[in-house]
Every structure is written in C-alpha cells, then in structure tokens.
Chains A and B, each alone.
Chain A
Amino acid sequence: MAVLSKEQKERYRRQIAVVGEDGQEKIGRTRLLIAGAGGLGSTAALFAAMAGFGTIRIIDPDCIEETNLNRQLLYREADIGRPKADTAAKALHAMNSSIDVEPVTAAIGTAPARDLIRGIDLVIDGLDNYPARFLLADAAWKCGIPFIHGAVEGFYGQVCTILPKTYPCLRCIVPNPPPVRETPIIGVTTGVIGCIQVTEAIKLATGTGLPISDHLWLWDGIRQKSDRLKIERIPTCHVCGKDEYQIPTGERVR
C-alpha cells in the first residue's frame, strides 16, 4: 500500500497531527460515493476532497439553477445551466488535484443502485427525497457499505450513520416519508449537516470514535441545540429485520 508522499505529508500536515499518517493513508484509500450534488452533497464533497479521500464519485442528474446558489457552494453564477456532477468534479479537482473524482450525471433509480455503489467504501447521502434514499440505502445495507444519512429543512437537520448488519436502518427511522416537495432550506444548515456527514466519514475511515449509528442526531439551528433520538428497529422491517445484528463499536467497520 502506497505510503504518503513528501507532498502529501506537507499538504495534510495539520490533520496528520490529528489522525496520524496511518489515518491519513486510510482516508486516501477510502472511496466515497456522494449521492446528490446539492446543498449537502456539495458541502460534503468539498470537505471530503480537502481531507484527501482518494476517490470521490459524485452523482446528480440536474443542471445548476439560480435557486441553488444560496447553498450549493461548489457552483458560481457562471455555472448556471451546466451539469452539476461535471461542474462539481472540476471544482473538486481544482481544490485537490491528487484525488480521483468520478462525475456521474444520472438519477438514482435509472441505473441499478448496486452498480452505483460498486467499488465504494462509504456512501454520503446528499439526496433530496426518500424514494431515492431508500433505493441507495437498501442496496448499501445489503452490500455491506455504511450509508451516512443526512437531511435538512429550514434551520433543522438530521444525521444517522446506517451501518450494515446493524439496526435501525433508514426504513426504521423513516417508515413513512414526507411528501416530495420543494423544501425550504437556509444554506448554513446544509453546511452544518454536510460537515457532520464528512466527520462521520473520517471517523469510519480512520476507525476513530463512535459513529452516530444507534440513534438519530438532530440539529436545531434556531436554539443551537442538538439531540440524540434513540429509535428502535421496526419489528417488521423488510431490510434489517431478517439478519443477525451487531452492536456498533468503535472498531473500523470495513
């Protein structure tokens, strides 16, 4: 396994002081899928690229619109009309040319979810609707890949790292999704939640700390308050209801 180059040791010096050279190498070996290149996805992708995740595959079907610019920090006014995935890839490459970025302009559901996550170690959920989240989260659970769920509305956000072979899965947390609509969002909330999601990815990649995996983490930006909400598995869950369970530990998952 490749060790860090002299340039990498310098580039990542401040975070090697936190995660160690070993941890930085693990981050470099981790292949991330970022599903959705909107508010959460662009925040997560930017911090993941800066942290040095070796491969970032970023999927989004859309082109950039003016209304994206209050929160989707990878894009500029001149990018309006361009495909999000390709534009995001260029911005990420400009941020860190030493990582591989794979843009995919496609909607979840048009390609089999298993193909989208092939070769991937961790999924970051930057999607804006639950039907797409369930397709990807179900596939990730079955393929043994952690799915770092995030969602936002207004000043509120939620995060849960769904670990395969454990519970609850995303279906247990959100058994009945809210109707799909244009969600009111303030840009800073996608920044907060996208950063928490990358924090989870760094913890999983390096085996640091405990993931947010046996509860839902909720953020309230109005009251500057976060809460942990314990959610039990749904007894009839068709995703996580049939397998053997493991209690999440601080060990590296993969």
Chain B
Amino acid sequence: MKVHVKAFATFREVMDSQFDMDFPKGATIHTLLAELTGKFEGLGELMFAAPGTLRDFVNILKNGRNVHFLAGLDTPLDDGDVIALFPPVAGG
C-alpha cells in the first residue's frame, strides 16, 4: 500500500519535504518511523527521546488526526494515508 509522507518546519533540515512510501499490509506508524529514521540521518535524534519513546511534542498526524490520540506508534497505516510529521515552533 502507498502512504504519502509530509515533513514540516525543522524536520526539513534532515529529511525530504514530501514523498510516497510503500508498505506491506499490517504496517504501523512504528514501521514508518523505523524506515524513516534509517533513511534520514539525524531524524531519530529529533523525534525520539530514547529508543521507542517519541518526544511528546512531535506531532504525527494521520490524515489530520494526531496519532497520540489514536493508537500511538501502533496506529495502523492504510492505503492512501497522508502522514504529516510536524514539530510545532514556539518562538515569537
């Protein structure tokens, strides 16, 4: 199945802005992040506080819905999903 990934703000300093990825059935957000952190050097450090522990301010949106309020890293991927990786900026 095909998933469209979009990255915003400071994540763009370590990864591409948007691209498609292919996954087998049963893949989850965890599968996607494992693949992305392997592909883009420096992304793992930006996203994870410790292995398996996402920095809590990192927003991962599945079709606009924050996966933190779905099933977290276990949230399943579906064909056609748009996954947005969005670290909110804070300065004024």
Contacts and interface: CB of A to CB of B under 8 A. Distances in A.
Interface of A: 36, 38-41, 125-130, 150-154, 156-158, 172-180, 183-185, 190, 216, 218, 220, 222-223, 225, 227, 229-232, 234-236
B59 A175 contact: yes
A6 B9 CA distance: 46
Interface residues of B, number: 24
Interface string B23-61: 000000000000000000000000000000000110101
A127 B90 CA distance: 8
Contacts, number: 100
Interface of B: 6, 8-10, 12, 17, 56-57, 59, 61, 63-66, 68-69, 84, 86-92
A158 B92 contact: no
Contacts of A127: 92
Given A38-B92, A190-B92, A220-B8, 9 more contacts: A39-B92, A128-B91, A151-B90, A156-B8, A173-B88, A174-B57, A183-B89, A220-B9, A232-B66
Contacts of B10: 153-154, 156
Given A156-B10, A227-B6, A234-B69, A178 B87 contact: yes
The 7 closest A-B pairs by CB, nearest first: A183-B91, A153-B89, A128-B92, A176-B56, A156-B9, A178-B57, A230-B64
Contacts of B91: 39, 128, 151-153, 183-185
A41 B92 contact: yes
Nearest to B82: A230
A156 B89 contact: yes
Given A175-B66, A222-B12, A158 B89 contact: yes
Contact of B92 (A151, A156, A216): A151
A174 B90 CA distance: 10
Contacts of B12: 156, 220, 222-223
**Chain B CB within 10 Å — which of A41, A177, A236 has the most?**
A177
**Chain B CB within 10 Å — which of A150, A179, A230, A236 has the most?**
A230
A130 B90 CA distance: 7
A231 B63 CA distance: 8
Given A176-B68, A227-B6, A158 B88 contact: yes
21 contacts: A125-B92, A126-B92, A150-B92, A153-B10, A153-B91, A154-B10, A156-B10, A157-B89, A158-B9, A172-B66, A174-B59, A174-B88, A175-B59, A177-B88, A177-B90, A178-B57, A179-B57, A229-B6, A229-B64, A232-B61, A235-B69
